[in-house]
Amino acid sequence: MKTALLSRTEIEKALTMDEVIRAVEEVYRAHGNNLAIIPPKITLDLSPMEIEAWTIAMPAYVHPSRASGIKWVGGYLNNPKKGLDFVLAMIILQEPETGVPLAVMEGAYITNIRTGAAAGVCAKHFAHPDSHVLAVIGAAKQGKASLRAMSSLFHLKEARIYDISPEASARCAQEIESGAGVELVSVSQPRDAVRGADIVVTATTGDEAIVLNEWLKPGAVCVSLGSCQEFDSESVMKADKVIVDNWEQCTRRGELARLVSTGEFTREMVYAEIGEVVAGSKPGRTSPTEKIVVVPIGIGTLDIAVAQLAYQKLKDRCRHFEFF
């Protein structure tokens, strides 16, 4: 038995955003039908040792596609200063019944593209279908991936991009412009991006409120992708619906974790998990004026399903090694 070794370059060439969006949607549907397994994430936090880094183990299984494996992913705050990406990851894909490792894969690209696709699927099911204005807060890889996904799913007229680094925001607009088919505007303040936007996506490394509830229009859908709080508490507490990908995961990281820790937000305040809506057991948007907050903090089943998609496309023409 040989194990495939897949690089970022190979995976990037193999995957398209449209097929990743379809794979992500099918994973959510599997969760809604109780056909997927994700144990709680295990976090290795190095901050007590004065190392600004954390790494998470994310095992997962998706029954419809029989995708099984684990992602080892981390955020390393000083990496950009060293010319490295903030997020680095590795995925091991295995045969579920035997444990035989099918592939060892670079995981950061899969993390970024599946996160963008997840934001797109959330907007597909919770945003107004005639949404035309998008705000993206955070112009790094996951913000760019979200923009590509939204451009694929909606007839956008305008996408506004804000980043704490004006250079990053402008660069993002320039990089995406040729293929997105939408007017891209780099703005200098987050409120300039958010006001009047139908869809607001936050994809930052920040740990404070960047988006204020008073900026959000009636009927807006807010998708928080970051590991910490990005919307102010009022945005969540006054939302008509709050949606999560997995409640247990969202109590530990992401938009809701701080509100959960203080007791302000409880499980009973969650309208649904994304999978319930995708599977059809609960309706999504039921009013054009509903303000909806969606928190897809990230579930390993998405990574493993997308990793299997890449593996199936590349397994006959990539490098292999003898694992045993």
Inside any domain, residue 117: no
Kindly report the backbone phi and psi dihedral angles of residue 309, in degrees, each rounded to the nearest multiple of 5, phi listed first. Answer: -60, -45
Catalytic residues: 71
Same domain for 168 and 149: yes
Q: Are residues 106 and 143 in the same domain?
A: no
Please tell me the predicted confidence (pLDDT) of residue 206.
Answer: 85
Q: Are residues 224 and 237 in the same domain?
A: yes
Cβ proximity of 157 and 57 under 8 Å: no
Q: From first to last of its 324 residues, what are the pLDDT tens digits of the chain?
A: 899 999 999 999 999 999 999 999 999 999 999 999 999 889 999 999 999 999 999 999 999 999 999 999 999 999 999 999 989 999 999 999 999 999 999 999 999 999 999 999 999 999 999 999 999 999 999 999 999 999 999 999 999 999 999 999 988 888 776 556 788 999 999 999 999 999 999 999 888 899 999 999 999 999 999 989 999 999 999 999 999 999 999 999 999 999 999 999 999 999 999 999 999 999 999 999 999 999 999 999 999 999 999 999 999 988 999 888
Pair 275, 32: CB distance under 8 Å: yes
Same-domain status, 271 and 126: yes
Alpha-carbon distance of 133 to 131, in angstroms, equals 6
Domain total for the chain? 2
**In the block, which residue shows the tokens 């990539």?**
318
230 and 255 belong to one structural domain: yes
Cβ 87 vs Cβ 204: under 8 Å: no
Which residues form the domain of 255? 122-298
